[in-house]
Amino acid sequence: MKLFSEYLKYRAKLLITGMFVVAIFVTTDRLFDIPQIAILYPLILTIVIGLIVCGFDCFFFIRKHKQLTQTPDELPVPKNLIEEDYQQIIKLMGEETKMAEQKASADYTDMVEYYTVWAHQIKTPIAAMRLNLQSEDTESARKLMGDLNRIEAYVEMVLTFLRLDSNNTDYVIKEYDLDEIIRPAIRKFSRDFILKKLKLEYEPVNFRTITDSKWLSFIIEQVISNAVKYTSEGSVHIYMNVPGILCIEDTGIGISAEDLPRIFENGYTGFNGREDKRASGIGLYLCKRISDNLGHKIYAESKVGEGTKIFLDMRAKKLDVE
């Protein structure tokens, strides 16, 4: 019915002309003393022929519409000059779009290469600074080491952001012992726990999951980093009550109810981010993107002033295992 109404709009001028012709027949019959059969016969004949022509025209209109909506490799052969003009416009727009896409792709590739080189080069002075600080055991050295860890985490975040949209993302999907991924992530933040005097409660999960260890490690490290960052006193608890669902719980400042549904959006920082000017709103967004790519599910529960729970559901999904 919708296509038929569209056809009526498309042929509105011709239909109005046909109605005008019928009106002429009727007016002629009223004005002149002509036998009705002389008017009625050609009128009926005209209407019948008009309906037949309109029926065929509507059929071809609908068929052509369906052909065009099926995204053909080539445009249909133009039947008149107007259609040919439209096809020329479409071809020019297609060429311009293709050139714009090629330029955008080249610009993006150049940007990725630049930041990738920068991220790898910045790791050299970071490693040198780490070696120098490891030889000192002072409070200032420990604080500097914590700051250095955060710098390194930000650099890794940049690399992760770039790799996510790369065609060569190096996923190695196989079965891993989850505890073997969690423990190195905890050790990475051991100095931060000591400096902030936070208690770590880690219960070995004794669970094996199908995932990529490097990318999953990034998620866990990012969640632990946020837990330490927004917890001034209390503890961080890592456990698994439900098999396959890892929980990282803190006793930090919590997340407001209006912010909670949006914490995994790109660039969203919420009230906590506005209070902490260092927040970028990218970390949890990357966690969500990586979780989706790995077939996992990440979600959160939180109350302001009580703390936050981040859940990572790693129950079996259909993944290509190497």
pLDDT digits (tens, 9 = 90+) for 84-133: 888 888 889 988 999 999 998 888 888 888 888 888 888 888 888 888 88
Across 10-16, average pLDDT: 79
Q: Are 195 and 146 in contact (CB under 8 A)?
A: yes
The first and second tokens of residue 115, run together, are: 């930041």
Q: Are 302 and 230 in contact (CB under 8 A)?
A: no
- pLDDT tens by residue, 258-274: 888 898 988 777 665 55
Integer distance in angstroms from the first to the last C-alpha of the chain?
Answer: 52
Measured in degrees and rounded to the nearest 5, phi and psi for residue 182 equal -70, -45
Q: Which of 230 and 83 is assigned the larger pLDDT?
A: 230
The first and second tokens of residue 154, run together, are: 């930000």
Select from 198, 192, 184, 200 the least CA-distant residue to 142. Answer: 192
Q: Are 226 and 284 in contact (CB under 8 A)?
A: yes
Q: Are 310 and 236 in contact (CB under 8 A)?
A: no
Q: How far apart are CA 277 and CA 298, in angstroms?
A: 25
Sign of torsion over alpha carbons 46, 52, 55, 61:
negative
- pLDDT tens by residue, 174-207: 999 999 999 999 998 888 888 888 999 999 999 9
Q: Which residue has the tokens 């990218």?
A: 282
Measured in degrees and rounded to the nearest 5, phi and psi for residue 270 equal 70, -165
Q: Are 211 and 224 in contact (CB under 8 A)?
A: no
The first and second tokens of residue 41, run together, are: 């016969």
Q: Which residue has the tokens 């940049």?
A: 158
